[in-house]
């Protein structure tokens, strides 16, 4: 005999695992601070690489002017401007990443909570079926 409720719950779980679950189930393996911390570390390295590349491209674009006026430049001031620009860019992107990842984590947790409720329903259904089969076995033994 097919249990329709069990089939419905299993279908919902399978649909979730193939859809939203692909995105949210891996997130549920992390604590909030670990997930956001990992995102912040990735952000640090990616922003650093992007800033070095951007600075190098700008330097290459203005290479002629740079080579002609390098003896007149205040290199300490230029270095300070480059570092301040990096800090501002890193701070801006870090705030943005923190907000985005916090929202993403809280959405994942809400979604996963519903998934676990469905898993709980499925567990109860299996427990009821197990109880019924044990009762049937006991009744059959009593008849024999």
- State the greatest distance between any 2 C-alpha atoms of the chain, in Å, as a whole number: 107
Q: Which helix (H) or strand (E) holds 53?
A: helix 32-61
Which pair of tokens denotes residue 65?
């002017």
Q: How high is the pLDDT of residue 142? A: 59
Q: How high is the pLDDT of residue 95? A: 98
Q: Is 107 helix (H, G, I), strand (E, B) or coil?
A: helix
Contact (Cβ atoms closer than 8 angstroms) between residue 5 and residue 125? yes
Q: How high is the pLDDT of residue 144? A: 55
Which pair of tokens denotes residue 134?
């044990």
Going residue by residue through the chain (144 aa), what tens digit of pLDDT does each one get? 467 888 888 888 888 888 888 888 888 889 999 999 999 999 999 999 999 999 999 999 999 998 898 888 898 999 999 999 999 999 999 999 999 999 999 999 998 998 899 889 889 888 888 888 787 776 666 565
Q: What is the separation, in whole angstroms, between the first and last Cα of the chain? A: 24
Q: How high is the pLDDT of residue 128? A: 86
pTM for the model stands at: 0.73
């Amino acid at each position: 005999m097919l249990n329709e409720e069990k089939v419905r719950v299993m279908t919902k779980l399978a649909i979730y695992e193939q859809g939203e679950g692909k995105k949210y189930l891996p997130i549920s393996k992390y604590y909030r601070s670990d997930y956001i911390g990992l995102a912040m570390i990735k952000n640090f390295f990616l922003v650093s690489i992007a800033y070095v590349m951007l600075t190098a491209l700008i330097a290459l674009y203005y290479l002629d002017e740079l080579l002609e006026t390098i003896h007149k430049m205040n290199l300490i001031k230029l270095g300070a401007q480059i570092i301040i620009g990096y800090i501002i860019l890193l701070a801006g992107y870090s705030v943005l990443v923190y907000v985005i990842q916090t929202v993403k984590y809280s959405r994942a947790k809400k979604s996963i909570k519903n998934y676990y409720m469905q898993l709980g329903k499925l567990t109860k259904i299996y427990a009821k079926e197990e109880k019924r089969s044990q009762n049937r076995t006991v009744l059959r033994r009593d008849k024999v």
